[in-house]
C-alpha cells in the first residue's frame, strides 16, 4: 500500500479533521503530506495535534485562503504544475496520506483543475463531506463529477452528526460503496480530545482502513484508466514556493503584502548537511557556544515567515525570533523590497562629513517617536555599541558641564547590555563577564527597585553619571520583568538626584505593544538605545537617541569637545533604507494587533502553568513569554540543552536561558505555530525529575 488521497466535496468539507482522526488512530502506519497549502497551515495543525506522525513539508504555501492559482497570482508567483507536484511526492517508508485543498474541481492553475492532480497521484481516494443538510446532493454531485475523470472513491466519509438517511441514499446511488459517519471533536482541539474521539470512532476508522486494504489487495490502486497529460509551468530546479503571511502590509501591517511571494532554493548542490557541519566545525567560532559543544549547529539554508528551513529538509518554527531580531517575520516582503530598491542606488558610504537620504529619513522617524521634541540620533552597528555610545555620551555630557568626577554608573541586578567593555561594566554578570572584572570601569548593581536605587544614589552623591535599565523586561537574565509603575518610580528617583537615565531598548523595542517599552511608564529618558528590531531583523543597525539636553552640551565650535566615536559602517544606507520601511510599517496598528493576539494566547495557554509542579514562575509581556523551572544551575542548568534538543525534535527552535524556557516569536506567527510552541514548552516541564 502506497497511501491514499483525501478529497473534499468543497472547501471546509472536513479534510483536515478527517486527517487528524485517521492519523491519530494510525499514526505509526502513515505519513502526512499536503502539497499545496493556502491560509493557516494544516501541516502545522497535524504536527501539533498528532506529534507521533511524520509531517512532510508542502511544496507550495501561500497566505491567502483562496484557490492556489489566485493566491499565487496575488503573491507574484507561479504555481507548480501537476508534474512538479507529483515529482515532489516524498519518499517514505510508510504509506502516505495526501490531503488536497478545496474541492476536486477547484482550479490548481489558471488552466488546470485539481482533479488532474488527483488522477496523477494514482492512489485510492477517500471522499470527505459534512453530514449537514445537503450532504446527499453534495456527495452525489462530486462522485459524478470526479467519475467523469475516471476517479471513484473507495470510501465516503460524512463528518458530523450521524445521518442514516444520507448514508442510505448515498449507498443506493453510488453502488453500495463504504459510506462512513464520523463525529468531529467539539470545543478546543487537543491531543487528549482527539485521542478520546478517535477511540470512540475506532470501529468506523477501521472500516476505512479495511476498504483501503481491500482496494490494494484487489490490485485496483490505480484511478486513471488512460494516460494523464500534464499542463506544466515548471519552477527552476530545486526551488519551492513559499509566501509571507498577509495582505495587510500595504496598510502598515506586520505581515506581507500581495504580489510579493517568496521562493528559496533547496537544491542539494552545495547544501549537503553533514558537509556543511564539517566545514563549520573546522572554521567557525560561534557566539555563546563552547567549542566542544557536542550538539552540531543547525544548517539553515532558507527562511520565511516564522520558519527556518534546514539543509536536511526539516523546518523549524523560529520561536525566539533569531535572538530577538526578527520582528514581522523572516524575509518580510516590504522590507525585502526596500532592500532590493536601495541596493540599486547606494551600497555604502562613510558617514563622517557625509549624509544620505535613508539616514536622514530614519533619524526623523526615530526622533518623532521619542518623548521629547528635537534631539539627535547617533547610528552604530548593534545593541552593544548603541549602549557604548550612550555611556560615553553620558560621561562626556558631565565633563562638558565641569563634573568630570561623575565616573560611576548604576546598573541593575539581572541586567544585560552587551559584550563590549562598557556594556559589560554596567551588566557585570559574574558568569559572562567575571573573567574581565579587573578591566571594567566603576559601576554598581542594585535590585530593580526604586527604594534600592534611592539608597545607592544617596550614598554616592555627585558621583553617578547615569542609570541604565532595560525597561519592563531584562532579557538575557531570563526575561525578568517589572511593572510600569516600578519603572516610573526608578526614573523619578534618578531625576530627583540629577542623574541621567538610559533606556536600553535594544531588546524591548517593539516587543511589548508599544514602540518603546518605556512608553508604558510615561517617562522621558535622556538616552534611548535601539538595535535588534530597528530594521525588522533584516540587517544589523543600531541607534542611540539623545535628548535635546544632551545635545546642547555638544553644540559647540570647540573641536576638542567633539564626540569622538564612529564605526566604518555607521548608518549603512541599505540598513537605513530597510529601517525606514520598517518604521513606516510601525506607524500603523496591525503590529500592535498581532502583539495583543500573541500576548492573549500566552495568557490563555501558559499563564495557568504557574500552578504546575516544577514551575517557579511564568512571566508574560507582549510577545514575550517565559517559564522559569524550579531547578538549580541558573544559566548553566543541565536541563537547558536537553530542552533545546527536545524542541528541535518537535519542529521548534528554542534557546533556553538555563532554567528559563522562553519564547518571543515573530509577529506573523500563526495560531498553529503558537500551539506547537506552547505544547513544546509544556513538554519541557515533563523533562523535570519526578
662 is catalytic: no
Contact 528, 545 (CB under 8 A): yes
Of residues 34, 416, 429, 594, which has the active-site annotation? 416
Structure-block grid coordinates of residue 112: 488546470
Q: What is the predicted pLDDT for the residue at 580?
A: 97
Does the pLDDT of residue 121 top 70, yes or no?
yes
466 SS3 class? strand
- Domain check: are 568 and 618 in the same one? no
Residue finishing a domain among 197, 217, 237: 217
Does the pLDDT of residue 224 top 80, yes or no?
no
278 is catalytic: no
Of residues 288, 296, 405, 522, which has the active-site annotation? 288
- Domain check: are 464 and 610 in the same one? no
Per DSSP, 434 falls in state G
Contact 154, 178 (CB under 8 A): yes
- Domain check: are 537 and 618 in the same one? no
Residue finishing a domain among 217, 248, 274: 217
- Domain check: are 574 and 616 in the same one? no
Of residues 504, 526, 594, 662, which has the active-site annotation? 504
- Domain check: are 488 and 442 in the same one? yes
pLDDT digits over 482-530, tens only?
Answer: 999 999 999 999 999 999 999 999 999 999 999 999 999 999 999 999 9
Structure-block grid coordinates of residue 454: 534611592
Provide the CATH number for the domain around residue 14. Answer: 3.40.50.300
Residue 409: which domain range?
Answer: 336-585
pTM above the 0.85 mark?
A: no
**Does residue 535 form part of some domain?**
yes
pLDDT digits over 329-387, tens only?
Answer: 999 989 999 999 999 999 999 999 999 999 999 999 999 999 999 999 999 999 999 99
Stretch 586-602: mean pLDDT, rounded?
94
15 is catalytic: no
Does the pLDDT of residue 233 top 60, yes or no?
no
Q: What is the predicted pLDDT for the residue at 176?
A: 66
Of residues 15, 77, 532, 594, which has the active-site annotation? 532
Which of the pair, 351 or 252, is modelled with greater confidence? 351
- Domain check: are 419 and 561 in the same one? yes
Bridge-based pairing of strands 315-318 and 307-310 is: antiparallel
- Domain check: are 573 and 618 in the same one? no
Judge residue 451's burial from the number of C-beta atoms within 10 Å of its C-beta, 0-12 exposed, 13-18 middle, 19 or more buried: exposed
**Does residue 320 form part of some domain?**
no
- Domain check: are 499 and 610 in the same one? no
222 is catalytic: no
Q: What is the predicted pLDDT for the residue at 220?
A: 43
Contact 591, 533 (CB under 8 A): no
- Domain check: are 525 and 483 in the same one? yes
**Does residue 200 form part of some domain?**
yes
- Domain check: are 446 and 595 in the same one? no
Does the pLDDT of residue 269 top 50, yes or no?
no
Rounded CA gap, 345 and 150, in Å?
A: 56
Rounded CA gap, 687 and 659, in Å?
A: 12
Report the mean per-residue pLDDT for the chain.
Answer: 88
Which of the pair, 536 or 268, is modelled with greater confidence? 536
Provide the CATH number for the domain around residue 642. Answer: 3.90.1150.10
Number of domains in the chain: 3
Rounded CA gap, 367 and 361, in Å?
A: 10
Does the pLDDT of residue 188 top 90, yes or no?
no
Query: Integer distance in angstroms from the first to the last C-alpha of the chain?
Result: 43
- Compute the chain's Rg from CA coordinates: 29
**Does residue 21 form part of some domain?**
yes
**Does residue 224 form part of some domain?**
no
480 SS3 class? strand
pLDDT digits over 291-328, tens only?
Answer: 998 889 999 988 988 999 898 888 899 999 999 999 99
Does the pLDDT of residue 236 top 90, yes or no?
no
Q: What is the predicted pLDDT for the residue at 192?
A: 86
- Domain check: are 551 and 622 in the same one? no
Contact 607, 620 (CB under 8 A): yes
**Is residue 216 very low, low, confident or very high in pLDDT (cuts 50, 70, 90)?**
low
Long-range contacts of 198-206 (CB under 8 A, 24+ apart): 198/21, 198/24, 198/25, 201/21, 201/25, 202/25, 204/180, 205/21, 205/22, 205/25, 205/26, 206/25
Q: List the beta strands (DSSP E) in 249-384.
A: 262-265, 300-304, 307-310, 315-318, 376-380
**Does residue 663 form part of some domain?**
yes
Q: What is the predicted pLDDT for the residue at 230?
A: 29
Other Cβ atoms closer than 10 A to 453: 25
Other Cβ atoms closer than 10 A to 598: 25
**Does residue 396 form part of some domain?**
yes
Rounded CA gap, 65 and 71, in Å?
A: 8
pLDDT digits over 599-617, tens only?
Answer: 999 999 999 999 999 999 9
Q: 39, 1, 2: which is closest to 15 by C-alpha?
A: 39
Number of helices (H), then strands (E), belonging to the chain: the values are 23, 29
**Does residue 380 form part of some domain?**
yes
- Domain check: are 665 and 558 in the same one? no
Rounded CA gap, 371 and 378, in Å?
A: 17
**Is residue 217 very low, low, confident or very high in pLDDT (cuts 50, 70, 90)?**
low
Stretch 269-283: mean pLDDT, rounded?
84
Does the pLDDT of residue 244 top 70, yes or no?
no
Q: Give CA separation, 307 vs 72, 252, 316, 668, in Å.
A: 19, 22, 6, 10
Residue finishing a domain among 166, 191, 217: 217
Amino acid at each position: 500500500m502506497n497511501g491514499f488521497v483525501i478529497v473534499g466535496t468543497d472547501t471546509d468539507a472536513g479534510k483536515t479533521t478527517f486527517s487528524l482522526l485517521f492519523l491519530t488512530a494510525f499514526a505509526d502506519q502513515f505519513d502526512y503530506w499536503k502539497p499545496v497549502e493556502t491560509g493557516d497551515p494544516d501541516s502545522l495543525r497535524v504536527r501539533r495535534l498528532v506529534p507521533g506522525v511524520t509531517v512532510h513539508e508542502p511544496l507550495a504555501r501561500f497566505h491567502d485562503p483562496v484557490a492556489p492559482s489566485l493566491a499565487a497570482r496575488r503573491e507574484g508567483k507561479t504555481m507548480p504544475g501537476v508534474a512538479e507536484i507529483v515529482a515532489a511526492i516524498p519518499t517514505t517508508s510508510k504509506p502516505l496520506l495526501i490531503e488536497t485543498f478545496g474541492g476536486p474541481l477547484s482550479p490548481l492553475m489558471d488552466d488546470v483543475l485539481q482533479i488532474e492532480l488527483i488522477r496523477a497521484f494514482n492512489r485510492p481516494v477517500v471522499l470527505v463531506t459534512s453530514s449537514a443538510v445537503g450532504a446527499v446532493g453534495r456527495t452525489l454531485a462530486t462522485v459524478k463529477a470526479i467519475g467523469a475523470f475516471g476517479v471513484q472513491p473507495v470510501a465516503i466519509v460524512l463528518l458530523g452528526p450521524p445521518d442514516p438517511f444520507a448514508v442510505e441514499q448515498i449507498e443506493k446511488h453510488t453502488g453500495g460503496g463504504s459510506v462512513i459517519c464520523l463525529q468531529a471533536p467539539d470545543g478546543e482541539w487537543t491531543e487528549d480530545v482527539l485521542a478520546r474521539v478517535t477511540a470512540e470512532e475506532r470501529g468506523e476508522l477501521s472500516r476505512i482502513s479495511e476498504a483501503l486494504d481491500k482496494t490494494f489487495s484487489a490490485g485496483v490502486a490505480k484511478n486513471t484508466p488512460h494516460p494523464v497529460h500534464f499542463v506544466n509551468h515548471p519552477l527552476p530546479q530545486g526551488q519551492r514556493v513559499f509566501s509571507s503571511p498577509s495582505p495587510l502590509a500595504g496598510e502598515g501591517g506586520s505581515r506581507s503584502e500581495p504580489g510579493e511571494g517568496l521562493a528559496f532554493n533547496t537544491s542539494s548542490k552545495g547544501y549537503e548537511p553533514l558537509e556543511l557541519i564539517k566545514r563549520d566545525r573546522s572554521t567557525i567560532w560561534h557566539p555563546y557556544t563552547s567549542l566542544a559543544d557536542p550538539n552540531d549547529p543547525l544548517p539553515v539554508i532558507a527562511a520565511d515567515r516564522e520558519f527556518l528551513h534546514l539543509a536536511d529538509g526539516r523546518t523549524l518554527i523560529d520561536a525566539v525570533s533569531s535572538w530577538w531580531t526578527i520582528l514581522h517575520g523572516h524575509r518580510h516582503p516590504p522590507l525585502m523590497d526596500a532592500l532590493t530598491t536601495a541596493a540599486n542606488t547606494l551600497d555604502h558610504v562613510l558617514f563622517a562629513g557625509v549624509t544620505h537620504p535613508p539616514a536622514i529619513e530614519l533619524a526623523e522617524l526615530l526622533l518623532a517617536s521619542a518623548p521629547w521634541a528635537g534631539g539627535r540620533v547617533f547610528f552604530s552597528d548593534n545593541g552593544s555599541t548603541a549602549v557604548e555610545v550612550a555611556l560615553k555620551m553620558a560621561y562626556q555630557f558631565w565633563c562638558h558641564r565641569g563634573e568630570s568626577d561623575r565616573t560611576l554608573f548604576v546598573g541593575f541586578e539581572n541586567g544585560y547590555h552587551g559584550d563590549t567593555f562598557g556594556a559589560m561594566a554596567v551588566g557585570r554578570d559574574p558568569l559572562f563577564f567575571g573573567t574581565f572584572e579587573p578591566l571594567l570601569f566603576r559601576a554598581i548593581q542594585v535590585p530593580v527597585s526604586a527604594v534600592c536605587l534611592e539608597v545607592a544614589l544617596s550614598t554616592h552623591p555627585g558621583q553617578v553619571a547615569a542609570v541604565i535599565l532595560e525597561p519592563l523586561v531584562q532579557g538575557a537574565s531570563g526575561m525578568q520583568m517589572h511593572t510600569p509603575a516600578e519603572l516610573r518610580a526608578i526614573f523619578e528617583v534618578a531625576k530627583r538626584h540629577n542623574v541621567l537615565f538610559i533606556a536600553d531598548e535594544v531588546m524591548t523595542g517593539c516587543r511589548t505593544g508599544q514602540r518603546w517599552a518605556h512608553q508604558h511608564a510615561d517617562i522621558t529618558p535622556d538616552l534611548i538605545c535601539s538595535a535588534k528590531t530597528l530594521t525588522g531583523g533584516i540587517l544589523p543597525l543600531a541607534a542611540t537617541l539623545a535628548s535635546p539636553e544632551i545635545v546642547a552640551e555638544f553644540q559647540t565650535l570647540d573641536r576638542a569637545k567633539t564626540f569622538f566615536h564612529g564605526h566604518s559602517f555607521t548608518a549603512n544606507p541599505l540598513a537605513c533604507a530597510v529601517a525606514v520601511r520598517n518604521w513606516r510599517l510601525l506607524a500603523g496598528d496591525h503590529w500592535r494587533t498581532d502583539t495583543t493576539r500573541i500576548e492573549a494566547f500566552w495568557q490563555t495557554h501558559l499563564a495557568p502553568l504557574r500552578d504546575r509542579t516544577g514551575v517557579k514562575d511564568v512571566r508574560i509581556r507582549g510577545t514575550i513569554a517565559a517559564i522559569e523551572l524550579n531547578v538549580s544551575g541558573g544559566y548553566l542548568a543541565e536541563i537547558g540543552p536537553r530542552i533545546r534538543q527536545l524542541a528541535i525534535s518537535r519542529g521548534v527552535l528554542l534557546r533556553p536561558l538555563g532554567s528559563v524556557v522562553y519564547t518571543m516569536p515573530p509577529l506573523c506567527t500563526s495560531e498553529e505555530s503558537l500551539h506547537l510552541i506552547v505544547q513544546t514548552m509544556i513538554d519541557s516541564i515533563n523533562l523535570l525529575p519526578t
